[in-house]
Structures are given as C-alpha cells and as structure tokens.
Structure 1
Amino acid sequence: MTLPALQNSSVFYRKILSRFPQDISLAFAYGSAVFRQTGSSQGQMGKNMLDFVFAVDDPVTWHTMNLIENRKHYSFLKFLGPKHISSIQNDYGAGVYFNTLVSAEDRVIKYGVISTDALINDLLHWKTLYVAGRLHKPVRILLQNENGKLRAALVRNLKSAVIASFLMLPESFSEEDLFLQIAGLSYSGDFRMVIGEDKSKVSNIVKDNMPHFRKLYNNILQECPQVVYKPQQGRLEVDKSPEGQFTQLMALPCTLQQQITRLVDRPGKNRDVEEILLQVAQDPDCGSVVQQGKPASSRTLSCVRTLECDLRNVKCGKWNASEQRFRPHMFGVFILGILGKTLHAMNRIIAKDVPNVYRFSVLLDAIP
C-alpha cells in the first residue's frame, strides 16, 4: 500500500531524482514549494526552496556514490568520507543528514538522507517524530519500492496520528479540527514557531490542502472502529468512554506511551504501562495529558536543524522568504548556534565512541 493519490512522477521531479544514486527506498517532496499554503501565490511557490527526503537502505554506499556524483553538495564533512558522514547521520539528532542550498533544474533544493531502518523506527515509535511528523501531512511521493515493512510503517504512522489526535479532541469535531490537530502534532513547541516562522503555519498548511488531507486519511477514518465518520457533513464523533480512550492509549506509539507514564507515575511506584494508561483513560483531563506527553525531541531537533541550515545561509548569503523573517534575529541565533553546537559536540565526545576529531568536525558543518 502506497500513500494514497499523492504520487507524482512528473518530468521535473524525475530529472531531479536522476541526479542522485538510485538506491532509494522512498523519496518524497514536501513543504510550501510543493503544496500551496494560505497567503502564498503560485509565483511565490516557484521561488521557495524545494525540500526532499530520501530513505536509503545502505547510507554508506549511498553517500559514497553521491560524493562521486555530487561532491559540491556537501559541506566540510565531504573531506571525512562516506563512513563518517553516515556515522554523524546516524548518531546525531533524528538520523537525517541534510545537504541544503543545492541548485537543481533552475531551483534551489534541500535534501535529507535517512536510513530505511531509522525511518521505519521513527514511523512506528515516534522517538523523534522528525520525519514521521512530516509524513503526517500531505507529501508528494516520488519513488517508493516494494519494502513491505516500510509500507506498513507508513500506514501505521498515519493511524497513530489519528489516534493521538482523537485523544486531544472533544467527542464531536470537524474534519478541519482533526487535520489541524494532526498537522500540529510535530509543531507544538517547535523552535521555528517561536522565532522566524509564521505563527499560523499549521492553519495555512491545512486550509488550502483539505482535499489532500481527506485523500490521505479517508481509508483510515472509514475503517477505524473508534469513530463515526460522516464525510458528507465533514463531521466526526469519537468514543470518549474510559474503555474507548484506553483502547486508543494502548494503540499509541511506545515513545508517546512512555512520555505519558513519566508524567503520571510518581517516582518510586514503577507501575507497568498498562496500569498507568488505564488510570489516564479515566481522567477527565486525558487529552491534556496526551498533549503534554508528545515527544519533545522533535522540538529540540528543529532548533538544531534550523541553526545548522541558517549558519550555511549566512556563509552563502542566500535567504528564502521564511529566512527573511528570521534575519533580524540572526546575530543572536548565530551566537546561540555556535554555543549550542559546541556544547552538543562536547557532550557527544564524552558520551560516544566516534573519534573526537570527527565529532568536532560537526562544528564546521556550516561551511559549504
């Protein structure tokens, strides 16, 4: 099963994909250059940076080939070779390595590389919710192979987004309410929503893309036993009984379950997850508990990723529309970025086994 009706194999996207090694299990494009958002014109879309994510089975081999074909895409880390690029990809943040401000087919693009296994893990467990959160929203699938585990994980991720949103919504709500909740799962507390990004970003994503959201989630909503879905009226009614909420809580990704248990379980009690979730299901504030339990790692990662990309942009002198809004804050963020990356690198040197020189090299990742 592929993500429904969001496939695109236009010549433009095929030309971009043809520039990269072909051992890709999943490739998708996302963001404001792909799907129109409220307040943006077609002309603005054509000027925005195009964002891609490539999932690959063997990152070392893929980076080896990509360094041969597209060496200029990489920053200072190209001098360390594919093994160390892959090590940094796997050990830092969300397991995604980004090359940004790349010229392709008269457009500026950014692409992230993640291992297929790391992607499946994020889709199933929401440990970071970094790529999984992007896949809660409509994306343009450019390539998807026959990996059964990946296909199942993509669907599981959508179901998890629906269940988590049910728990945070009232008994009766609209389709738009649901899609706003889903789209906001990975944005709550996001650094980019505090500085630089349009505060109404989630609403802008949903309002102009309701047909895409319906197509993405229609089958899941029709088949879900926990909800009465009335697509003609655009309304839904969800089971808010303690039994219904317990069933939903038990279906959440394990990382979110663990976050909820940490919030509820008092130190020293060490009750099992099922017992704690049963207690939460009976709590009138069940939805707010789930809201607080959403993985925080995606918020931290968004900060790190934003800082890394902006440091590159300072070096290149290139800014897109979103970054123009960010620019007045740039000096403080630049200092924060250097400090944050220094502390992060030092922490990783102490904690992990990759040679120190390569860990400190991450500080130079902003050099194109």
Structure 2
Amino acid sequence: MFVRVLRQPTRWCFHRHLSDKPITDGMATFKRDIENPLPLMSTSVNTVAMPTVLESFIEKVLPAFPGGVQCAYAYGSGAFQQHGTIDISKNMVDFIFVVDDPIEWHTNNIEKNKSHYSFLKLLGPRAINHIQKQYGAGIYFNTLVPLAGRVIKYGVISTDRLINDLLDWESLYVSGRLHKPVLTLKEPSNADLKVAMQINLQSAVHAALIQLPDMFSEEELYVCIAGLSYLGDFRMTVGEDRHKVANIVKPNISKFQALYKNILDSEEHLFFNDTKLVYEQYPNHISQYHHLNLLPKTVHINLVALAKQSHAIPDTEEVIRNLANNPHCGDYVADSIAQIVKRSSWSQSLKTAFTAGFCKSIKYSFKKMQKMIKSFKK
C-alpha cells in the first residue's frame, strides 16, 4: 500500500473521491495504442508554420552541414515568439539534428565545420560519438556557432536513441522538447520514428491529465504538458527564466492546439465543455489506471522504486493498480518524471561544458543568468 512521501502537492493536482467500482484491465488499451496509435498527419506531428522572419535564414541551415540528417527541428526562443519578447531575430536559434550514422556524420562535419567543436575534436569522430552515446542524454551539442548572421546551437542525436527516448522517456531531454511545437526543417522518413513521435505526444497527455484537476482551462493543460520536461530540472532554479513555461505557451496556444487536437478529441476520459470553455475529467481509479498504464517505461520503473521505499509489492502491474486508488496519484507521477529530468539535466549540463569548451560554456551560462535575473523584475 502506498503512503504519501511528497511534502508539496503538484500544481493542479486535485481529485474527487474515489468510487468503489472495480478496476478494468487496461493492458488491451495499452496494446491498442502502441500498435495502432492515432493516425499521423500528412506532415510531421510537430510541424507548424514558419515565421516570416526566419524563412530566409532557415533555408541556409541544412546546406551548411553534411548530408545524412534523418530529420531536423528548430526550437526555443530564437524560433518561436515567447511572451514578453518582441524581436526573436536577436535570440540564439536551437536545432536538433537526428542522424542515422553519428560517426559518419561527425566525421564529415569535423571536416566541414571544424571550428564548431571544442578541443574534443582532437579525439576524433569515434570518441565524439562515444561521448554522445554514453554520457548525458545521448545528444552532442555545439553551441554559440555563428551562421548566416545569426548564432545557433545544435544538438546531434542518433535515430535509434531518439526513438527510445520518445517511447520510454529515458531522459526526457529531446522527447520533452518535442512535447512542444517545433519548426521542421526536414521531415523524418523513418516510419518507426514517426510512430514514436506520435506516442510521445500521447504519453504527455496522459502524464498531464493525471496531474490536472476535475476542471481546467486549455492554457492550464498546455502549461502542464510543456512543463513536464522541466520538472526536477535544476536549471529552472539556477539560470533560467522563472516564467519560462508560461512564456512558451501563452503566445503559442494555436500551435499547441494543432499538435494535440486529435489526441484530446479521442481521449475517452476527457470532455470539453463548450459552454464554460474548459476541459472536464472525472479522476477516479478507472481513469487513473487508464492514464497510469499508458505512461512510458521509465516512469513505471520510478513508480516501482517509490513503492519499494514504502515496502509495497515491487511488481509493476500491482503497483499501478494500487496507485490508481491513491488520491495523490498525480504527485507520484510528477515525482517519477522529476527523477528522470533531474538525472538527465545534470549529466547533460556537465557534458555540454566539455563539448562546448570552457569559454563558450562561461558565455552561454552568463546569458542564461541574465535571462533569469531579468525574469525576476517582471
């Protein structure tokens, strides 16, 4: 039996009294969603319209790098309007490059863009690939890179590693960024990657709904979803804008709607009240079991670990069934997600200090601190 271990309730986590109805087996639902996820849109699930200010610049990005990019995305304050920011043209643009063969890609990129790399380039592409795979969140960043009159940061991740993170939330580092709208430079051609991206969005909805109250606004839903990958991130208290999540969501509601509309419309435990213009759900042990059962593997592993701390039965199915009856279910899920993010944010930040080099790391950290200090004045 679970006992509550968290001191503070998760925001928006309020629940109705649980009914006495028996829990229905959700494994069939889980199998259905994995084998037959919601139909993919004709383009990438995260595709949004390109801001006019970026069009000419974006066209110059991929030609500046070697071929072999499976898909590529731009994200962050340099790609999207954020609340309180008027001119995004002065912000650094962040990119994710997904490649099938990281060794070959780094080999070609070192030849083409040697100055992008820190001293680690002296170790060669195989060593860089080893650092990319074995440390942090499986992604290798080059930062503060000048390109076509702008400054960019780009991360390189293998297709296989990204698929694992999308399905299992191993680190929530790249999969968490893909919970939010991104600009697509190149559509993925890998069928498994396309399906994994859709399942990642579905998982985000289940993780958010289990933390939300009976009634909530559309903005609150998207703030919860966008905030999943920041739970437990030490950078949110040191070196980040404290309004970061809300600033991402407020000016981009329509983009979140395009991203999640099909998933929300098909969710059987959710109802949109057209009169009050809010979402309604009825959190009980049946709906909680439904959402819990469809969470990614790493969240389940962490939930089992929490159960062991309270001397409960360390079996995943039993833990989920017991937790579905717990009124603080959302707290446990938030804590389990925070553990994932805490590990990856620390390890990836330490890794980036080496991949970027000392001088760039200091400069990048200083810019982050400036943003945080500025946010306290708002």
TM-score (norm 1): 0.82
Partner deviation per Cα, 1:168-195 (whole Å, 9 max, x = no partner): 0112211111111111101122111111
Residue in 2 that maps onto 1:301:
344
Q: In the alignment, residue 315 of structure 1 is paired with which amino acid?
A: C
Residue in 1 that maps onto 2:4:
none
Matched-pair contact (CA < 8 Å) for 1:192–1:306: no
Structure 1 pair 125–110 and aligned structure 2 pair: CA distance change class (3 A)? same
Give the superposition deviation at 1:278: 0.7
Q: What CA distance in whole angstroms lies between the structure 2 residues aligned with 1:125 and 1:274?
A: 17
Q: What CA distance in whole angstroms lies between the structure 2 residues aligned with 1:99 and 1:266?
A: 40
Residue in 1 that maps onto 2:48:
6
Matched-pair contact (CA < 8 Å) for 1:180–1:202: yes
Runs of at least 5 residues in structure 1 that lack an aligned partner in the other structure = 328-368
Q: Which has the higher contact order (CA 8 A, sep 6+)?
A: 2
Matched-pair contact (CA < 8 Å) for 1:221–1:229: no
The number of residue pairs the alignment matches comes to 326
Partner deviation per Cα, 1:204-262 (whole Å, 9 max, x = no partner): 11111111111111111111222113478542122412111111111000110111121
Structure 1 pair 172–268 and aligned structure 2 pair: CA distance change class (3 A)? closer
- Is 2:269 aligned against 1:226? yes
State the Cα RMSD in Å: 2.3
Residue in 1 that maps onto 2:236:
193
Counterpart pick for 1:19 among 45, 59, 64: 64
Give the superposition deviation at 1:4: 5.0
Give the superposition deviation at 1:52: 0.4
Q: What CA distance in whole angstroms lies between the structure 2 residues aligned with 1:231 and 1:137?
A: 25
Structure 1 pair 48–89 and aligned structure 2 pair: CA distance change class (3 A)? same
Residue in 2 that maps onto 1:59:
102
Matched-pair contact (CA < 8 Å) for 2:167–2:200: yes
Give the superposition deviation at 1:77: 1.1
Q: In the alignment, residue 213 of structure 1 is paired with which amino acid?
A: F
Identity of aligned residues (%): 43
Residue in 2 that maps onto 1:68:
111
Matched-pair contact (CA < 8 Å) for 1:189–1:299: yes
Matched-pair contact (CA < 8 Å) for 2:46–2:184: no
Structure 1 pair 79–231 and aligned structure 2 pair: CA distance change class (3 A)? farther
Runs of at least 5 residues in structure 2 that lack an aligned partner in the other structure = 1-39, 374-378
Partner deviation per Cα, 1:91-129 (whole Å, 9 max, x = no partner): 001000011111101011000000000000000000100
Structure 1 pair 4–136 and aligned structure 2 pair: CA distance change class (3 A)? closer
Give the superposition deviation at 1:7: 5.5
- Taking the TM superposition and a 5 Å limit, the aligned residue runs for 1:102-251 are 102-230=145-273, 234-251=277-294
Partner deviation per Cα, 1:137-188 (whole Å, 9 max, x = no partner): 1111111232110000001000000000000011221111111111110112
Residue in 2 that maps onto 1:348:
none
Residue in 2 that maps onto 1:30:
75
Q: What CA distance in whole angstroms lies between the structure 1 residues aligned with 2:341 and 2:82?
A: 22
Matched-pair contact (CA < 8 Å) for 1:259–1:295: no
Matched-pair contact (CA < 8 Å) for 1:3–1:141: no
SS of the residue corresponding to residue 284 of structure 1 reads: coil
Matched-pair contact (CA < 8 Å) for 1:29–1:51: yes
Matched-pair contact (CA < 8 Å) for 2:271–2:281: yes
Q: What CA distance in whole angstroms lies between the structure 2 residues aligned with 1:135 and 1:194?
A: 22
Residue in 1 that maps onto 2:370:
324
Structure 1 pair 238–65 and aligned structure 2 pair: CA distance change class (3 A)? same
Structure 1 pair 23–239 and aligned structure 2 pair: CA distance change class (3 A)? farther
SS of the residue corresponding to residue 261 of structure 1 reads: helix
SS of the residue corresponding to residue 322 of structure 2 reads: helix
Name whichever of 205-214 and 295-304 sits farther off.
Answer: 295-304
Counterpart pick for 1:253 among 284, 289, 296: 296
Q: What CA distance in whole angstroms lies between the structure 1 residues aligned with 2:144 and 2:316?
A: 44
Q: In the alignment, residue 296 of structure 2 is paired with which amino acid?
A: P
Q: In the alignment, residue 175 of structure 2 is paired with which amino acid?
A: A
TM-score (norm 2): 0.80
Counterpart pick for 1:315 among 349, 359, 362: 359
